Amino acid sequence: MSEKKDKTSRRGFLRAGLVLAGSVVAGTVLKPFNGVVVAGEEPKGDTPWYGIGIDIEKCIGCGKCAKSCKLENNVPMEPFFFRSWVEQYTIAKDGSVKVESPNGGIDGFKQELPDDQIFKSFFVPKMCNHCSKSPCVQVCPVGATYVSPDGVVLVDEKYCIGCRYCIQACPYGCRYLHPAKQVADKCSLCYHRIKKGIQPACFEMCPTGARVFGNLRDKSGPLVKFLRDHNCLVLKPHLNTGSKLYYNALSGEVR
C-alpha cells in the first residue's frame, strides 16, 4: 500500500513539475502578445504629447495636404518624394481592391470604374504615424532619428549618414532619402510650426477639417474629444509600433 502511494506521489510530482515548467515556457513565449497593444502608452511627464486624428469620412481627396506639406517643408516636387500624401481606395462589387495615388493626390483623382461597379470608395490621407515605439528610431545606427520629448519622431539632418535603414524599417512607408541632402527625410509634424503654437501646414490647409491635431495629454482638447466621439483605429496595430495617428472609419482593406 505504502509502496503504491510512493509511486503515485513521484508520478504526481513529476507531472506537476512538467506542468509548471511548461506553463513558465508558454508564459514567456506568449508575454509579448498579451495585453492590448494597439496604441502608444502615455509616458510620464508634463510636456505635451502630440498625436493626430484623421477622419476618413470627411476627406474629399483634394490633395491640399500633400501640396501644402511640400511647399512648407521644401520637399522635392518630383512625384516620388512625399511626407504626406493621399490614397484613393476603390472596392469593386466583385471584391477587388484598387489603391491609387497619382502624384500623391496633388493633381486630383480620377475614378475609372463606373458608379454601378463600385461597392465603396474613399480617400485615406497618409503621413508619419509618429509612433511611440517607432521601428525607424530603433534601427538608426547613429542616433540621427529620435522621438522628441513631445512625442514627435524627428530626423537630425546633420547627424544622418544616409544609410537608409530607417526607410526600410518604417512599416508605413513614410520616409524617403532626400535627393539633394542625401539624408533621410520624413514628416516632422511641422515641428517649427507647432513649437510656435501654430498648426502643422496640412492641418491648417485641409478644407474640410478632416485632420485633427492635438495634445493627447490634454483630456479636454480637440484630439481627445475626436477620439472619444469616433471609433478610431491605428494602421497595422499587430506590429506594435505604438502609432499615434488615429483614423476614424478606417476600413479593413487599408494597409
Tell me which residues touch other proteins (CB under 8 A). Answer: 55, 57-58, 60-64, 68, 71-73, 88-90, 107-111, 113, 115, 118, 121-123, 143-149, 154, 156-159, 188, 191-193, 195-196, 198, 201, 204-209
- Of 238, 41, 233, 51, residue with least CA distance to 133: 41
Tell me how far, at minimum, the Cβ of 233 lies from other proteins, in Å: 18
Which residue lies nearer to other proteins by CB, 15 or 192?
A: 192
Which residue lies nearer to other proteins by CB, 17 or 108?
A: 108
Tell me how far, at minimum, the Cβ of 234 lies from other proteins, in Å: 21
Which residue lies nearer to other proteins by CB, 103 or 240?
A: 103
Tell me how far, at minimum, the Cβ of 89 lies from other proteins, in Å: 8
Q: What is the 3-state secondary structure (H, E, C) of the chain?
A: CHHHHHHHHHHHHHHHHHHHHHHHHHHHHHHHHCCCCCCCCCCCCCCCCEEEEEECCCCCCCCHHHHHHHHHHCCCCCCCCCCEEEEEEEEECCCCEEEECHHHHCCCCCCCCCHHHEEEEEEEEEECCCCCCCHHHHHCCCCCEEECCCCCEEECCCCCCCCCHHHHHCCCCCEEECCCCCCEEECCCCHHHHCCCCCCHHHHHCCCCCEEEEECCCCCCHHHHHHHHCCEECCCHHHCCCCCEEEECCCCCCC
Tell me how far, at minimum, the Cβ of 129 lies from other proteins, in Å: 18
Which residue lies nearer to other proteins by CB, 35 or 209?
A: 209
Tell me how far, at minimum, the Cβ of 64 lies from other proteins, in Å: 5
Which residue lies nearer to other proteins by CB, 51 or 105?
A: 105
Which residue lies nearer to other proteins by CB, 55 or 247?
A: 55
Tell me how far, at minimum, the Cβ of 217 lies from other proteins, in Å: 18
